[in-house]
Chain A
Amino acid sequence: DTEVTQTPKHLVMGMTNKKSLKCEQHMGHRAMYWYKQKAKKPPELMFVYSYEKLSINESVPSRFSPECPNSSLLNLHLHALQPEDSALYLCASSPRGYGRTTDTQYFGPGTRLTVL
Chain B
Amino acid sequence: SQQGEEDPQALSIQEGENATMNCSYKTSINNLQWYRQNSGRGLVHLILIRSNEREKHSGRLRVTLDTSKKSSSLLITASRAADTASYFCATDGLGNNAGNMLTFGGGTRLMVKP
Contacts and interface: CB of A to CB of B under 8 A. Distances in A.
The answer to whether A and B come from one shared complex is yes
Interface of A: 4, 6, 31, 40-45, 48, 50, 55-56, 88, 90, 92, 94, 96-110, 112
Contacts of A90: 42-43
Interface string B93-114: 0001111111111110100000
Most buried by B among A42, A44, A107: A42
B45 interface: yes
In this complex, the interface size class of chain B, counting residues with CB under 8 Å from chain A, is 20 to 34
A36 to B, nearest CB: 12
Interface in B43-100: 43-45, 48, 88, 92, 96-100
Given A99-B98, A108-B42, 9 more contacts: A42-B2, A42-B104, A45-B102, A48-B100, A90-B43, A100-B100, A103-B100, A105-B45, A107-B42
B31 to A, nearest CB: 5
Most buried by A among B2, B40, B42, B99: B42
User: Which 6 residue pairs across A and B have the least CB separation, nearest first?
Assistant: A42-B104, A107-B42, A99-B97, A102-B92, A107-B43, A104-B45
Contacts of A6: 42
Contact of A99 (B41, B96, B109): B96
A110 B99 contact: no
Given A48-B101, A98-B97, A100-B100, A109 B42 contact: yes
A74 to B, nearest CB: 14
Contacts of A109: 41-42
Contact of A41 (B42, B43, B106): B106
A37 B44 CA distance: 15
